[in-house]
C-alpha cells in the first residue's frame, strides 16, 4: 500500500503560551512522515510535553498551524477532534493508567469504547492485540499480578488495538528497569516495522540516540540540526530567534 505523500504531522510557526506570559513553544516548524520512528528528546521544561499535547490534539496552539493526518486542528470542532484521537492516534504514558479491578483484556477492550465497536468486537481486538504484544498467557490477570514491563505492554496494546496511524509514547520506559525498558522499546520498533508511525517523547538521550531520528528540544524550540538516519524522512526545522 502506498503511503500518502503529505506529512502525517505538520507544525508550521507553532507557538504555545500559557497564562502569565509563559512561553512553552516558540515558532516551531516540524514535519513527520507516515511510517517514521523518531524521538523527541529534551530535559524537563524544554517543551517536549507541550509538543506531545499539540501533536496528540489534546491542546491547541496559541499561534501557528497544526495538521494531523491531513486535518487542520484549528478547523475541527471538539467532537471531531475527539473522533480523530479515537481513530487515528494512540497514547502510551509513563504511568500505565490501568484500571486496577479490570483484567488485562478488559483494560485493552475498554480503550475501544469510543471507537464504535460492539462488546464482542472489542474483546476480539483486545485478545488479538495482547497476543501481538506477547501477553497471550496474561489476558485474565489483573494489573497487580503483572510486572512493570507487562503492565506497559498492556498499555501499549490498549493504545494500538484500534490500529492508529500514529502512536505517541511519552517516557514509555520511565517506570521500568533496564531490561523491561529495552523490551518495551523493542516492541515499539516491531510496531513501527508493521507500519505504525511512532514518536517517543523522552528525556533519555540514550533511548533517543538508538532511534532513526532525533528531534532535540531546548527552551521551547527545536535545536538544529534535526538528526536522522531514515533516508526517506521529511524535514524538520526550528527557526532561530
pLDDT at 60: 93
pLDDT at 64: 97
pLDDT at 231: 40
Helix axes 148-160, 119-132, angle to 10 degrees: 130
pLDDT at 6: 87
pLDDT at 2: 60
The residues, ordered by sequence, that sit 6+ positions from 62 with a Cβ below 8 Å of its Cβ are 15, 16, 17
Residue located via cell numbers 505517541: 168
CATH of domain 35-57+77-223: 3.40.50.300
Mean pLDDT by 10 residues, the chain (241 residues): 79 95 94 96 93 95 96 94 91 93 97 86 96 95 96 95 95 90 93 95 93 95 72 38 29
Going from N- to C-terminal start, the domains of the chain cover 35-57+77-223
Amino acid at each position: 500500500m502506498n503511503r500518502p505523500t503529505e506529512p502525517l504531522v505538520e507544525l508550521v510557526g507553532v507557538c504555545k503560551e500559557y497564562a502569565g506570559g509563559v512561553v512553552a513553544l516558540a515558532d516551531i516548524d516540524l514535519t513527520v512522515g507516515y511510517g517514521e520512528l523518531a524521538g523527541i528528546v529534551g530535559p524537563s521544561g524544554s517543551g517536549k510535553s507541550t509538543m506531545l499535547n499539540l501533536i496528540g490534539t489534546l491542546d491547541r496552539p496559541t499561534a501557528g498551524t497544526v495538521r494531523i493526518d491531513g486535518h487542520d486542528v484549528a478547523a475541527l470542532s471538539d467532537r471531531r477532534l475527539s473522533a480523530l484521537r479515537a481513530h487515528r492516534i494512540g497514547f502510551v504514558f509513563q504511568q500505565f493508567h490501568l484500571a486496577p479491578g479490570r483484567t488485562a483484556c478488559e483494560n485493552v477492550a475498554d480503550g475501544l469504547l469510543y471507537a464504535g465497536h460492539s462488546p464482542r468486537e472489542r474483546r476480539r481486538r483486545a485478545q488479538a492485540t495482547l497476543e501481538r504484544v506477547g501477553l497471550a498467557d496474561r489476558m485474565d490477570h489483573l494489573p497487580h499480578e503483572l510486572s512493570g514491563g507487562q503492565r506497559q505492554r498492556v498499555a501499549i496494546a490498549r493504545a494500538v488495538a484500534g490500529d492508529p496511524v500514529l502512536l505517541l509514547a511519552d517516557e514509555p520506559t520511565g517506570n521500568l528497569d533496564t531490561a523491561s525498558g529495552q523490551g518495551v522499546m523493542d516492541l515499539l520498533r516491531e510496531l513501527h516495522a508493521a507500519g505504525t508511525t511512532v514518536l517517543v517523547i523522552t528525556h533519555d538521550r540514550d533511548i533517543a540516540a538508538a532511534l532513526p531520528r532525533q528531534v532535540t528540544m531546548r527552551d521551547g524550540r527545536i535545536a538544529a540540526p534535526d538528526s536522522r538516519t531514515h533516508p526517506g524522512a521529511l524535514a524538520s526545522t526550528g527557526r532561530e530567534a
